[in-house]
């Protein structure tokens, strides 16, 4: 799912191949159509092997869409002329949220390469900001999941004891 959530930025690789990393960025790979397509392909392949199309489709599509939502939340700081082609292929319009939650990567990372993007001093504050914003959300979801799974375990234990007789 982490790989799927990063998949929209595969458009950078196409850009590197033609010598301009940003030339295809925020295009069709950052659309709802691409999210549905990837979710459909992965779920279809999964269903062939193990069954259960819908849960995998929802999970994979949501992971892909999370990337698009996060990119949209870079906001107007990314510049008035840029944005994501969210509704491609039905519209080529580029959209961006009216306010910025996250920070745009410095232009130097496009020329310095992807490893520089991960380890440069310019990018560290951006990564820190994203961890500070998304860390509590992740912890809250993790805690909710733990709480729900412990409740379900208790319920199934009680249901089992009802059928099997008293548990000593």
Beta-ladder partners of 84: 95
Count the residues of the shown chain that bind Zn ion, applying the rule CB under 5 A: 3
Give the range of 43-51, 64-72, 73-81, 113-121 binding Zn ion by CB under 5 A: 64-72
Tokens of 4: 């799927």
Which residues, other chains included, contact 14 with Cβ-Cβ below 8 Å and sequence gap of 6+? 23, 24
Give the range of 69-77, 119-127, 150-158, 160-168 binding Zn ion by CB under 5 A: 69-77
71 binds Zn ion (CB under 5 A): yes
Closest CB to Zn ion among 9 and 122? 9
Closest CB to Zn ion among 8 and 83? 8
Strand (E) positions, the chain?
none
Which residues, other chains included, contact 41 with Cβ-Cβ below 8 Å and sequence gap of 6+? none
Closest CB to Zn ion among 69 and 143? 69
11 binds Zn ion (CB under 5 A): no
| Degrees, nearest 5: CA angle 14-18-24 | 45
Query: Are the C-beta atoms of residues 105 and 117 closer than 8 Å to each other?
Result: yes
Closest CB to Zn ion among 34 and 56? 34
110 binds Zn ion (CB under 5 A): no
Applying CB under 5 A, the residues found at the interface with Zn ion are: 8-9, 71
């Amino acid at each position: 799912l982490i790989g799927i959530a990063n998949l929209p930025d595969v458009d950078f690789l196409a850009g590197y191949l033609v010598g301009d990393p940003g030339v295809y960025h925020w295009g069709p790979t950052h659309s709802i159509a691409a999210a549905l397509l990837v979710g459909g392909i992965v779920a279809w392949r999964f269903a062939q092997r193990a069954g259960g199309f819908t849960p995998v489709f929802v999970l994979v599509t949501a992971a892909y869409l999370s990337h698009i939502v996060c990119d949209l939340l870079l906001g107007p700081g990314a510049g008035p002329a840029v944005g994501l082609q969210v509704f491609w292929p039905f519209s080529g319009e580029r959209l961006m949220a009216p306010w910025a939650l996250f920070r745009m990567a410095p232009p130097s990372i496009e020329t310095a390469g992807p490893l520089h993007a991960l380890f440069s001093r310019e990018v560290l504050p951006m990564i820190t900001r994203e961890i500070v914003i998304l860390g509590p959300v992740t912890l809250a979801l993790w805690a909710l999941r733990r709480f729900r799974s412990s409740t379900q375990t208790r319920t199934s234990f009680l249901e089992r004891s009802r059928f099997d007789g008293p548990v000593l």
